[in-house]
Structure 1
Amino acid sequence: MSQDIVIAGVGGQGTVLASRIIAEAAILANQPVFTSETIGMAQREGCVTSNVRIGEPLYGAVIPDGKADVLIGFELAETVRLLPKLKPGGTVIANATKIVPVSVATGKSVYNEAQLSEYLNEWPGSCYIFDASRLAEEAGSFKAVNIVMLGALSTLPDLLFTSEQLLEAILAMVPPKTTEINKKAFLAGRQALGGS
């Protein structure tokens, strides 16, 4: 059995850390795992894509279009941009927050938040959109968006690792002084998708 998870975000949101945490949870579950990242323009707020491939058989670290089981989107437009990675019936977990690109700030393009949300809600699989940024701030740090999103991921059935293994991986990989904030952020993400 295998599982492919793609993460979409922008620089500074902790996309790469999230993929490494998922990989560590898979290792804790004795699963083989590959990861890869594409970091757009190597700048803060440039697009970042992470691929996590778990289980067997594994045929490479990059998830082909139409093959991902889950798409985790840390930013609304980036989530829509990577929707072609999902297989039919795959699951979308998206942060409702937008980060306005330079082209919008300079008036060269438009960011239509309502249209993006509507497009995602038409996805013919499971789609969860919620304000993970607000939940991260309520947990104690806006930087914990990635942990909120991982908490939401942990509620999905049939993952190849447990929510306990995912939390263990988080706590092993974040600075010790942020342990309580990250525990709160993880729980907030779980609760956003109906977990406890």
Structure 2
Amino acid sequence: MTRARIFFTGVGGQGTLTATTLLARTALDAGLPVTSGEIHGMAQRGGVVESTLLVGGYKSAIIAPGEADVILGFELLETLRALPMLKRGGFVVGNSEALQPVGVCLGRECYPPLEAVLETAKGFAAQVVLVPCISLAEQAGTAKAANTVLLGAAAACGALPFSVADLTRSIEKYLKPKLVDVNLKALALGAEAAKAGQAA
């Protein structure tokens, strides 16, 4: 049986919970038992959103520090903050583009450079894949599909117990018809970025 503990982190408005639900449905369609939970859910736009997805028969939706097989980071700083959740040798797949918090925009705080986040992540993970999710989503047709770009990258690099084809079926089955085409494009662009080594 395929087993995986996946920790999602991002900020409000990025579709973190939508991505969690889509993966949960993909697992159920594959006949895999799944447990999911929100840690800080439904945050206001810009607030932290964290969720968990445990595939393969876990009884609790809780992931303790050092237990996650995969971190899916929808925002660069939140990916950095979530690294202690990862087990040694796990996967980090994240958005390389920042959504700067208010404190940074006002000049009160500093945002870490991409290179520093990447180096820190490499100290925790066996594999780190960072892709420009927002830019690729805009290429697909809307920045709102950045979450699907990230899922495509994660599936393509082997971080998920599902293939890009599995996610394609889920998008076609579960998303509103008007959202299917743009999300399929976003999924493909994310997968191509991960495979082509465009990841940071």
Q: TM (normalized to structure 2)? A: 0.90
Structure 1 residues 116 and 162, CA, compared in 2 at 3 Å: closer, same or farther? closer
1:27 corresponds to 2:25:
no
Farther-moved stretch of structure 1 (85-94 vs 120-129): 120-129
How many Å apart are 1:124 and its aligned residue?
Answer: 4.1
CA–CA distance in 2 between the matches of 1:36 and 1:124? 23
1:112 corresponds to 2:121:
no
Structure 1 residues 124 and 38, CA, compared in 2 at 3 Å: closer, same or farther? closer
How many Å apart are 1:120 and its aligned residue?
Answer: 2.3
How many Å apart are 1:119 and its aligned residue?
Answer: 2.0
1:91 corresponds to 2:105:
no
CA–CA distance in 1 between the matches of 2:111 and 2:158? 33
How many Å apart are 1:158 and its aligned residue?
Answer: 7.5
Q: What amino acid is the match of 1:18?
A: A
Contact preservation (8 Å) 2:92, 2:125: no
Q: How does 1:1-196 map to 2 (within 5 A)?
A: 1=1, 2-39=3-40, 42-56=43-57, 58-114=58-114, 115-157=116-158, 159-194=160-195
Q: What amino acid is the match of 1:66?
A: G
Residue aligned with 1:23, SS: helix
Contact preservation (8 Å) 1:40, 1:46: no
How many Å apart are 1:159 and its aligned residue?
Answer: 4.1
Residue aligned with 1:88, SS: strand
Residue aligned with 1:126, SS: strand
**Structure 2 stretches of 5 or more lacking a match?**
none
Residue aligned with 2:104, SS: helix
CA–CA distance in 2 between the matches of 1:25 and 1:124? 25
Q: TM (normalized to structure 1)? A: 0.91
Structure 1 residues 171 and 91, CA, compared in 2 at 3 Å: closer, same or farther? same
CA–CA distance in 1 between the matches of 2:138 and 2:47? 22
CA–CA distance in 1 between the matches of 2:103 and 2:109? 6
Contact preservation (8 Å) 1:75, 1:96: yes
Q: Give the total of aligned pairs.
A: 194
Q: What amino acid is the match of 1:153?
A: A
* Cα-Cα RMSD: 1.8
Residue aligned with 2:181, SS: helix
Q: What amino acid is the match of 2:64?
A: P
Amino-acid identity (%): 39
Contact preservation (8 Å) 1:31, 1:160: no
Farther-moved stretch of structure 1 (181-190 vs 112-121): 112-121
